[in-house]
Amino acid sequence: MILILTKDAYFLNALKHLLRRHDVIHITSANQLSETEHKGAWIIIDTLNNNIFHSELGYKIRFLSPKMVYVISPFMVKRCLGTIPTVFVDRNIGILHFVAVLQRRYILSRPDMLSLSHKQHQILTLVMQQNSGEQIAEKLGISLKTYYSHKYNIMLLLKLRKMSEVVRLNIAQYLV
């Protein structure tokens, strides 16, 4: 069984057509996930305008114990789903190459892909939601000094002068 979390109807229909499987299911909310029915499924997450890692849907996926999770994103998030085997695939990969990756006929090697820690990703997500530094520190249960340390590391990693410049980056639509 393959569960697909995406807001892109063209991507969904292309995958359904190319995979030629009857057990491809489009998931749009946490209510559609069943721990008994979907346990051990493969999951494909398209993060374009669909950042589910810090939502109810993301937390529910962790309890499903899927066999494999494929995340379509321009960056990696370390241990975003705990110990679940996760493969990050760049959004610019062709759909046929992606199907080959799913069928394990194509090996991905992306050592140059941007890699964020789980906390850095959380902070960037909250920045994109226009939270202040104090609000972010309070929501994450960290000190303001720790927040500033994470912010500094993020700015170094993304080569930003101001944190507000993150909205101009091509990864911004993957953080909303």
According to the 3-state scheme, what is the secondary structure of the chain?
CEEEECCCHHHHHHHHHHHCCCCEEECCCHHHCCCCCCCCCEEEEECCCCCCCCCHHHHHHHHHCCCEEEEECCEEECCCCCCCCEEEECCCCCHHHHHHHHCCCCCCCCCCCEEECHHHHHHHHHHHCCCCHHHHHHHHCCCHHHHHHHHHHHHHHHCCCCHHHHHHCCCHHHCC
- As a whole number, mean pLDDT of residues 151-175 equals 89
pLDDT at 56 over 80: yes
- Which CATH number goes with the domain that contains 150? 1.10.10.10
Q: What is the pLDDT of residue 64?
A: 85
Do residues 86 and 36 both lie within one domain?
A: yes
With a pLDDT cut of 70, the percent of the chain lying above it is 95
Distance from the first to the final alpha carbon of the chain: 28
pLDDT at 136 over 90: yes
- Which CATH number goes with the domain that contains 68? 3.40.50
Query: Which of the listed residues 114, 131, 154 is the one where a domain comes to its end?
Result: 114
Do 39 and 64 touch, CB atoms closer than 8 A?
yes
Q: Total structural domains in the chain?
A: 2
State how far Cα 47 lies from the chain centre: 5
Q: What is the pLDDT of residue 126?
A: 93
Give per-residue pLDDT as tens, 65-110.
Answer: 898 999 998 889 888 888 888 889 888 888 888 888 888 766 666 6
C-alpha–C-alpha distance, residues 156 and 167, integer Å: 16
Do 114 and 171 touch, CB atoms closer than 8 A?
yes
Residue predicted with more confidence, 79 or 148 = 148
Do residues 90 and 29 both lie within one domain?
A: yes
Do residues 107 and 168 both lie within one domain?
A: no
C-alpha–C-alpha distance, residues 166 and 158, integer Å: 8
Q: What is the pLDDT of residue 82?
A: 83
pLDDT band, residue 123 (cuts 50/70/90): very high
Model pTM score: 0.86
Name the average pLDDT for the chain. 87
Q: What is the pLDDT of residue 109?
A: 62
Q: What is the pLDDT of residue 113?
A: 83
